[in-house]
Amino acid sequence: MIKKLSLVTFFLIVSATSFAQNWGGGIDDEDWSFGFNFQYISAEYKILKKANWRSAFYEVPNSLDVTYDSSLGPNSLVSPKLNSISSLPSQGFGLGFVVNRNIAENFDLRATPSLIFSDRSVRYDYEATPSIDLGNGQTRNYQSSITKKVQATMFEFPIGIKVKSNRLNNFRVYWLGGAKYSIDIASKKKTFDEGEVAVNKFLKNNRNYLSYETGIGLDIYFEYFKMSPEIKLDYSMNDLLQHDNTAFANPIDKLKLRQLTFSLIFQ
């Protein structure tokens, strides 16, 4: 049975590629072409730490700010010494449009404005610290690990050059390189932490940034359209971190974003 299915599949592929030059709806002959894409995203931070990143933080009296000043005493301890700061990959998805300009036989100019829903996270691992008795029956407990999530709803506008191989029957491979502008359009309520105690402060990102990106893909031609599975890596050019005075932002010198995107593009 498996041999019969293999033979049928083989003959279908041969038949399809035999008529490949008539497929694709003539999209490669158009100066301008349009389409849409679906994206699966895996994002993580590259964290550059300060020289004193392991230091503990203490609460400034009559304030919600933090300081490195240990003379305030153990009862003012907000967060113990750090063992590590890391970022695990977080998943997301996106939807977008494709605008393609054919500029030569093997070169296209392409833009893919997209709406992206993707969370990111930073994990802080601390030294084990016993609870502190604050008096009046109150104690302060310290967690060994805290994860801060950054919720992002991004509008992204990538633009780049698509370098294509010559078409081989129903297939064509390509390389893509370019730059991308991103802006966070999420509600400010997600980053509003005024009045929160020090340990509940958010880790906040700048609203907009630039990235450079590169990727590879495959154009697959069907009778009336083409589909392009594509994998792309982008890396932010500038620091994303808002450097406010919190126990979560202060240990970090720079926060860069690395994003891996798998797309299915239809034109």
Domains of the chain: 24-266 (2.40.160.20)
d(CA 16, CA 29): 20
User: For residue 109, what are the β-bridge partners?
Assistant: 101, 161
Report pLDDT for 6: 45
The pTM score is: 0.82
Summarize pLDDT for 48-107 with one digit per residue, the tens: 999 999 999 988 887 778 888 887 777 788 889 999 999 989 999 999 999 999 998 899
Token look-up 């893909």 returns 217
- Is residue 189 very low, low, confident or very high in pLDDT (cuts 50, 70, 90)? low
Cβ neighbours for 171, distance < 8 A, ≥ 6 positions apart = 20, 218, 219, 220, 221
| Distance of alpha carbon 24 from alpha carbon 53, whole angstroms | 55
Alpha helix stretches (DSSP H) within the chain: 2-18
Average pLDDT over residues 123-145: 83
Can you tell me the distance from the alpha carbon of 104 to that of 115, in angstroms, rounded to the nearest whole number? 29
pLDDT, average across residues 236-241 = 93
